[in-house]
Amino acid sequence: MNVDASRQTPFEQHVLPEIEVLLRVARALTRNDADAEDLVQDTLIRAHNGIEHFDGRHPRAWLLTILRNANINRNRRRRPELLRDPDLTFDRMGRAAGPEQTDAFVDLELDAELVRALDRLAEPFRLVIDLVDIQGLSYAEAAQALGIPPGTVMSRLHRARGRLRRRLDQTGLAPRSGK
Amino acid sequence: MMTFLRRLIPRPRNAQGERALDCVAVGKTLQRYLDGAATAETAALIEAHLEDCLRCGLEADTYRRIKAALASHRVPPPSDSLERLRDFGLELARSHGTKPGSG
């Protein structure tokens, strides 16, 4: 696809290069490939409709905001309980218990334990780990995708990592901190 | 090994005589530092502390291992899905006022 940049439309120039990041984020948000694809498609349509009002600065941030809003609308239609404040939901849930996974090939112990510990995190905390540590988004980009301040991304991230770390500590996979 | 041994010998202040960070201060800023989000000045102070402090040094190593393990799960999204979305995006880009698949 060798298209002269000067002949590209703003949509081609700003939106098309971000499709992969959008799909990564959508997969983290939905945890379902088909839903993620639908969500990105939704996002592309909204971006296309709004491209005339976009000033051309920070396209990723703009698109992540669109994706987040599209996702909220989808959840509102499908799962209204997800609209609660995630921090309150977390506090209410305490330690969210996920299904115990018994992988037959648990050789990479730390990695396997991490995956298990990640699944046990409450959704808001799993999400920040997924977006920042796995998908490689910056604090600011994750904040755009989640619609929360960067400071909240940081605090959730740090709490989530602390939980993962303690989990590894309990299983003897992390060195004792000497406390 | 040398790093490990250095951490066993506490040094209250760093070589430049700068005000060294204590464990509590490092604990508060360690994650930002590991994410590359600390200022250069703070990063230098944290590095000096991590060299000196066994406990904080091990803590940082553990978080580095966790971050590395998590990053190893970064896989490309399904190529067929990506291809369909790129085609859809191109179709949108070429359309003027009509949406692909809408008619």
Could you give the domains of chain A? 1-83 (1.10.1740.10), 84-179 (1.10.10.10)
Residue A54 contacts B, CB cutoff 8 Å? no
Give A32-70 pLDDT, tens digit per residue.
999 999 999 999 999 999 999 999 889 999 999 999 999
Mean pLDDT of A88-105: 35
Please count the structural domains in chain B: 1
Q: What is the pLDDT of residue A111?
A: 80
B95 three-class SS? coil
Closest CA–CA distance from residue A11 to any residue of chain B (Å): 6
Range of the domain at B72: 2-94
Spatial distance between the Cα atoms of A115 and A106, rounded to a whole number of angstroms = 11
Distance CA A104, CA A107 (A): 9
Whether pLDDT at A104 is above 50: no
How far apart CA A133 and CA A126 sit, in angstroms, is 10
Q: Name the residue among A13, A40, A16 with its Cα closest to residue A28.
A: A40
Establish if B70 belongs to a structural domain. Answer: yes
- Residues in chain B within 8 Å Cβ distance of A110: 65, 69
Q: Mean per-residue pLDDT for A72-101?
A: 50
pLDDT value of residue A175: 57
Q: What tokens were used for A37?
A: 């694809």
Q: Could you tell me if A16 and B93 are in contact, meaning their C-beta atoms sit under 8 angstroms apart?
A: yes
Residue B101: inside a domain: no
pLDDT at A94: 35
Chain A residues with CB-CB distance to B66 below 8 A: 114, 133, 161, 164-165, 168, 174
- Domain membership flag for residue B23: yes
Closest CA–CA distance from residue A133 to any residue of chain B (Å): 6
Of A21-25, A114-118, A174-178, B72-76, the range with the lowest mean pLDDT is A174-178
From residue A140, alpha-carbon distances to A4, A65, A84 in Å are 31, 11, 22
Within-domain flag for B68:
yes
> Which of A37, A129, A157 is opposite residue B84, by nearest beta carbon?
A37
Nearest to B63 among A118, A135, A161 (CB): A161
Taking CB atoms and an 8 Å limit, are A174 and B70 in contact across chains? no
- ipTM computed for the complex: 0.72
How big is the CA angle at B5 (ends B39 and B55), to the nearest 5 degrees? 55
Confidence band of A7 (pLDDT split at 50, 70, 90): confident
Distance separating alpha carbons of residues A40 and B56, to the nearest angstrom: 42
- pLDDT for residue A90 is more than 90: no
